Amino acid sequence: MSETRITPAAQPPLFATTRWSVVLAAREVASPDSEAALEALCRAYWYPLYAYVRSSGRSPEDAQDLTQEFFARLLARSWLRVVVPEKGRFRTFLMVALKRFLTNEWHHASRQKRGGGIAPVSLDATEAESRFAVEPSLGPDGIYERRWAMTLLEQTLDRLKEEFTQAGKAGQFDLLKEWLTSDRGEIPYAGVAATLGTSEGAVRVVVHRMRKRFRELFRERVAQTVAASEDVEAEMRQIIGILSRG
């Protein structure tokens, strides 16, 4: 196995504006960057909200309608002016806004033209139900928090896999990915080395770099969902705590 150095892939052009801080900064005025950021965030995190609605006792059809209508109203920007920056976590804002919508807004919204002319975020109903079918037995808030954390984890893994694939190391990624979050003592370096036909020392180097890059990418992903850089570490600790409860 040749020495593996993964060069961070160039972030897509929208990365700089797929941040909650961009939305907060422009919430009082129309801004293409803010609108693009909000839509991108909604598309990335629709499933935790869908899972919350489903676990609240709604049917699949009602959950799809409610989630889409919620996003349609959110993208119309009618609620952003009430965001409190000091509570600048996107996941918290979404949860509070969704609960308010489910309690006070749905009956009114259902009597109007759906979405008010705003195209809602597209939901994959089949995917949503397949994922919901294997959710653990948690309450709606627990389901939401866990699915939010898992979404961040999945996005990070996808990004890391993309970097390995671009480096021609997709197979190596598939073999090593299960050890990304394991304790170091649990990693079977000798067995992995035998599978890859290389030395145990070389595997240790690759795993170390892979885990380091995973942490960097995870931090970047979390940073997109908080209002200020000083909030990132606290949010990371909370997300990791949520994952560890699983």
pLDDT for position 163: 96
pLDDT at 171 exceeding the cut of 50: yes
Could you tell me if 37 and 22 are in contact, meaning their C-beta atoms sit under 8 angstroms apart? yes
C-alpha to C-alpha distance for 113 and 116, rounded to whole angstroms = 5
From 12-26, 91-105, 173-187, the region with the lowest mean pLDDT: 12-26
What mean pLDDT do residues 70-84 have?
Answer: 72
pLDDT for position 120: 57
pLDDT at 97 exceeding the cut of 90: no
**HEC per residue, 16-62:** HHCCHHHHHHCCCCCCHHHHHHHHHHHHHCHHHHHHHHHHCCCCHHH
153 CB-side CA count, 13 A: 17
Quote the DSSP letter at residue 84: -
Output 132-135 pairs: Cβ under 8 A, ≥24 positions apart: 132/50, 132/51, 132/54, 132/55, 135/51, 135/55
Q: Could you tell me the two tokens for 101?
A: 């919508």
pTM for this structure? 0.80
Quote the DSSP letter at residue 1: -
State the amino acid at position 121 in one-letter form. V
Closest CA to 174 of 191, 153, 160: 160
What mean pLDDT do residues 102-129 have?
Answer: 65
From 44-53, 147-156, 159-168, 179-188, the region with the lowest mean pLDDT: 179-188
What mean pLDDT do residues 211-237 have?
Answer: 92
pLDDT for position 80: 66
pLDDT for position 164: 94
